[in-house]
Chains A and B, each alone.
Chain A
């Protein structure tokens, strides 16, 4: 959605540092952007600090406390009977009696990290291919565009599913598969920026002065593509987190005992009649983290594009 509009709006401006300072200043007056950033910082902090916040092993099986609902919803009588206190398990426990709160915290480590890594890999590969395609043109460009068109022929998560189906189920394969599905977007963005700059006067001037292609690309072309790239990066992290969860839910990502949000929802899916908290809790975690990245992405688009500021 925002991909298409982001690319078309961002092609031909951006001026070095002053824009960044300008953007930073505008960002400080962007309440939803700050909210998004705050949510992200919160999630990153609690997942990193998970071992400190709740020093329990997320894989530890505790058969005595199997499938307990969130303890604050239980009556005093039940609590005493089970020798628990009100905040023993704020998010309940799963089938093996594992603490859901710890699992959600540790799940964030996997879901957020895999989402970030997938997008980072895609952006790196896509940027390199996009620069090459746009700058050199000719048959290299034709070949890369063909490759992009092929990948874009698979709607949404289908390509990732097909790749994991072929490579076999694992978290790493899910990461690779998701990353591949995001590559075309970056190729397109960077290629279009590069194409528009290739014939610009300052690039020609650099060429006339004898700069080598690599230097021209890195010093003159790439910085101009950073702004649309930034917007796309933030927005794709949100969707990548959703995709990681989707693959986990379909049983194509992390394997069961691993605390991964999608796999946890799937684990609770078969039991939601008796233990709805098993799938509700990780879903809420996914929702808020994705909202965080989407808010930040929208804000970054607003502040980086002065034309949108009316």
Chain B
């Protein structure tokens, strides 16, 4: 198992290499010039040149053949891409062009908020999705089934950001039940040590704060969770239907096992494997869905952070943020894959 795990990790290297290459290449191919963006059009040639040297922009992109002649191998890799990768591997993703704050620090700052939102969205999707899928499967062809399937279809057909806007209008503006945006009311004094506000509020026993946090989480959580919810309902239903048609279910029924036990023990356990795959894969998708949801609800997470960087053309943040999300996504997918061995004893990794 461990050997397999290591092999899978090594297998990710070519992909991550390609990802970093892509992220590095795109802005350069179209000839965007960070030094020009930072200084503006009217900067003096001297200060422009100084900044280019400081940012390492006057070295070649991939291999520095000129330096290689005098300094050997070390000189050969004195180029932009090798430096970018070497820094990234050490966790250094550069600094924001404007604020000069290291991208890594900002990502670390904003990531907990995104994780919190993603987990809440996933919780919502699973808690409602799996039971609805089961009920639909057990009532196949009835009005209940058709109704749920239509809801599931609607769930993947809404633009998430639109749903968010409608919810804000309805529950925050019109009814005034929930706060329209943000993560916590600005008037509350709350010090978070981990960045995970929910956790901190519970640890510190601040129940009023916890209530406030939950109220802020409801709408973005539902908006972000709609698509995975719809997918989980459909997947659970079809997986249940497939399992219910198996011979061992008929056998169990024939030998007189109670209907409830057949469903819970024989069918559900086997039906959930593909559902878990879908849950795992959606988890990664949520990271990107968060960009839209966080923008609509002014949620201070990574998605919004990267989006703001796009509007201001802050390339180190865009590069670092996209690279970070892609790495997270790839790792989560791998973990989902590996988790099968624990869930399904028939699968053994060697």
Contacts and interface: CB of A to CB of B under 8 A. Distances in A.
Interface of A: 1, 5, 146-147, 149-150, 153-158, 161-163, 165-168, 238-239, 242, 245-246, 249-252, 262, 265, 268-269, 272-273, 276, 279-280, 283, 286-287, 290-291, 294-295, 298
Nearest to A147: B18
Given A154-B329, A155-B287, A246-B292, A168 B30 contact: yes
B15 A287 contact: no
A286 B165 CA distance: 14
Interface string B150-171: 0001101111111001101100
A250 B173 contact: no
Contacts, number: 136
Contacts of B325: 154-155, 158
Given A153-B15, A154-B322, A246-B292, A272 B329 contact: no
Given A5-B238, A146-B14, A166-B27, A155 B284 contact: yes
Interface of B: 14-16, 18-19, 22-23, 26-27, 29-30, 32, 153-154, 156-162, 165-166, 168-169, 173, 231, 234-235, 238, 278, 284-285, 287-289, 291-292, 295-296, 306-307, 310-311, 313, 318, 322, 325-326, 329-330
Given A165-B310, A280-B166, A290 B288 contact: no
B22 A283 contact: no
Given A155-B325, A279-B162, A291-B153, 16 more contacts: A153-B16, A153-B19, A155-B285, A155-B329, A157-B292, A158-B322, A162-B26, A162-B322, A245-B159, A246-B160, A246-B292, A252-B310, A265-B165, A272-B165, A272-B173, A286-B159
B322 A294 contact: no
Instruction: Tell which of B16, B26, B161 has the most Cβ of chain A within 10 Å.
Output: B161
A283 B231 CA distance: 21
Contact of A166 (B14, B32, B169, B295): B32
20 contacts: A5-B238, A150-B22, A155-B288, A155-B326, A158-B325, A162-B26, A165-B310, A165-B318, A167-B26, A168-B30, A238-B156, A246-B159, A265-B165, A272-B165, A276-B169, A287-B158, A291-B154, A291-B157, A294-B157, A298-B153
B19 A150 contact: yes
B165 A161 contact: no
Query: Which 6 interchain pairs have the tightest Cβ spacing?
Result: A150-B18, A283-B162, A156-B288, A166-B26, A158-B288, A290-B157
B159 A283 contact: yes
A156 B165 contact: no
Contacts of B284: 155
A153 B159 contact: no
A162 B325 CA distance: 11
Given A1-B235, A286-B159, A166 B285 contact: no
A158 to B, nearest CB: 4
Contacts of B291: 157-158, 161, 250
A131 to B, nearest CB: 22
Contact of A246 (B161, B318, B326): B161
Contacts of B18: 146-147, 149-150, 153
B157 A238 contact: yes
Contacts of B289: 156-157
A150 B18 CA distance: 6
Instruction: Tell which of B18, B23, B285, B310 has the most Cβ of chain A within 10 Å.
Output: B310
Contacts of A165: 310, 313, 318
A181 to B, nearest CB: 10
Contact of B310 (A150, A161, A280, A294): A161
Contacts of A246: 159-161, 292
B329 A1 contact: no
B306 to A, nearest CB: 8
A200 B154 CA distance: 41
Contacts of A239: 156
Nearest to B14: A146
Contacts of B16: 153
A154 B15 contact: no
Contacts of A286: 158-159, 162
Contacts of B157: 238, 242, 287, 290-291, 294
A254 to B, nearest CB: 15
A197 B313 CA distance: 47
B33 to A, nearest CB: 13
Nearest to B26: A166
Given A1-B235, A273-B173, A291-B154, A251 B311 contact: yes
Contacts of A5: 238
B326 A154 contact: yes
A271 to B, nearest CB: 11
Contact of B159 (A150, A161, A249, A294): A249
Contacts of A250: 291-292, 295, 307, 310
A167 B18 CA distance: 19
A233 to B, nearest CB: 17
B77 to A, nearest CB: 22
Contacts of A291: 153-154, 157
